[in-house]
């Protein structure tokens, strides 16, 4: 992300050229916005003319290999389990879906919001995560009083965007 794509006043990230060159916005939790403000103050003292919010030593962006290598180093210090950075995305989706259970929220609208926040161009790509949340399909059937197939289509023969 370029520095100008991070609005620390509002806590909104402008994600450009993502998921098929679509643009979308992500609103940060207040605690994350505060952490990013602290980071911005510290890195601005070291690299006041940086282009990227999280610059490399050469004031460029970090490539995916750098992210993977550093994630593995940090993860080994906190867990003996095996994980990859992409699993954080799965956790984001399933934690959000789990939070809807017994909250009285309109699940279809929430799924659309989640889909947009993840950068999916079609809601069916996000519907994939329903398979990762045990028992949620029964809860949706009960709460919506609508045909489950209207909300979550059959994805058995569908290519979805998650093959990133």
Contact 53, 5 (CB under 8 A): yes
70 located within any domain: no
Confidence at 137, pLDDT banded by 50, 70, 90: low
Burial readout 101-119 (b: 16 or more C-beta within 10 A, e: otherwise): eeeeeebeeebeebbbbbb
134 is written with which tokens? 């045990």
90 with 141, same domain: the answer is yes
CA 102 to chain centre: 23
Q: Tens digits of per-residue pLDDT, 70-121?
A: 999 999 999 888 888 878 888 888 888 778 766 766 777 788 888 877 878 7
Q: Tens digits of per-residue pLDDT, 61-82?
A: 999 889 889 999 999 999 888 8
In percent, how much of the chain has pLDDT > 70?
A: 73
In percent, how much of the chain has pLDDT > 90?
A: 34
pTM to 2 decimal places: 0.61
93 with 39, same domain: the answer is no
Task: Compute the distance between CA of residue 41 and CA of residue 50 in angstroms, rounded to an integer.
Answer: 12
| Nearest alpha-carbon partner for 129 in 102, 145, 110 | 110
135 located within any domain: yes
Domain residue limits at 121: 86-151
Q: How many domains does the chain have?
A: 2
pLDDT reading at 5 higher than 50: yes
């Amino acid at each position: 992300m370029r520095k100008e794509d991070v609005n620390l006043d509002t806590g909104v990230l402008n994600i450009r050229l993502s998921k098929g060159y679509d643009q979308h916005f992500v609103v940060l939790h207040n605690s994350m916005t505060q952490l990013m403000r602290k980071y911005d103050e510290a890195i601005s003292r070291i690299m006041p003319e940086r282009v990227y919010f999280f610059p490399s030593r050469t004031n460029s962006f970090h490539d995916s290999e750098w992210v993977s290598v550093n994630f593995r180093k940090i993860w080994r210090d906190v867990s003996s389990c095996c994980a990859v950075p992409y699993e954080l995305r799965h956790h984001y989706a399933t934690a959000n879906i789990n939070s809807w259970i017994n909250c009285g929220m309109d699940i279809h609208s929430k799924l659309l919001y989640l889909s947009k926040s993840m950068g999916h161009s079609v809601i069916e790509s996000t519907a994939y995560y329903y398979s990762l949340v045990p028992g949620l399909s029964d809860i949706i059937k009960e709460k919506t009083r609508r045909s489950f197939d209207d909300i979550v289509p059959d994805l058995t023969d569908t290519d979805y965007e998650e093959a990133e």
